[in-house]
Amino acid sequence: MIELHVILILMIIGAVVAMEIKDLLSSVIALGAVGIGLSLEFLLLRAPDLAITQLVVEILSLVILIRATVGAHMPQERNLKKPGYFIFAALFVCIFLWFTAKAVMQLPVFGQPVMKMGSLYIAEAVRKTGAVNIVAAIILDFRGYDTLGEATILFTSVIGVLAVLRKTGRKP
């Protein structure tokens, strides 16, 4: 499982670069690298559905983000003068990490999930739905209602984008 560690560490490095680099375009591209790394991780973790989806979504969101930032006048990011806020945020993040680490220790060991529902789905999917891809059987049959919600979320955000991008909101 060493390759998972390597890719994940590279993703963290990419994320820090995306966060700290001054040029916005480079920063967006670094985010894209993190996303591609995530797609690779999905592939290694035996989730090909997610790997494909993550890859194409990453490309799309990269296009949208570049579209939004390119041509914009690049501001020099000013350094913050308030160290107190930095310390507060860093402290918050440290506390978050500490408690998360404690909680995560009580999860089942990596590689041995409980799979109470998962094994049920695996056993019954083909017989009950006729779909060979068990993930597809779950998202569109067993939990199809979730997918209706998911499609609605996308619809909502499209309508939201159209509403936000109107030239004028109020009638004169």
d(CA 113, CA 97): 22
Figure out which of the listed residues 26, 33, 72, 83 binds another protein, where binding follows CB under 8 A. Answer: 72
Using CB under 8 A as the binding rule, whether residue 6 contacts another protein is answered as: no
Segment 91-120, which members bind another protein (CB under 8 A)? 92-93, 96-97, 99-118, 120
Which residue, chain included where needed, has tokens 């220790």?
105
Q: Which two tokens stand for residue 96?
A: 């978050």
Amino acid code (one letter) for 119: S
Residue 145 as a binder of another protein (CB under 8 A): the answer is yes
Give CA–CA dist 40/6, Å, rounded: 11
Q: Please tell me whether residue 2 binds another protein under the rule CB under 8 A.
A: no
Tally the C-alpha atoms within 13 A of residue 120's C-alpha that lie toward its C-beta.
5
Shortest CB 68 distance to another protein, Å: 5
Structure tokens at 144: 């199809």
Among 3, 31, 83, 84, the residue binding another protein under the rule CB under 8 A is 31
In angstroms, what is the minimal distance from the CB of 80 to another protein? Answer: 7
Position among 33, 75, 83, 84 found at the interface with another protein (CB under 8 A): 75
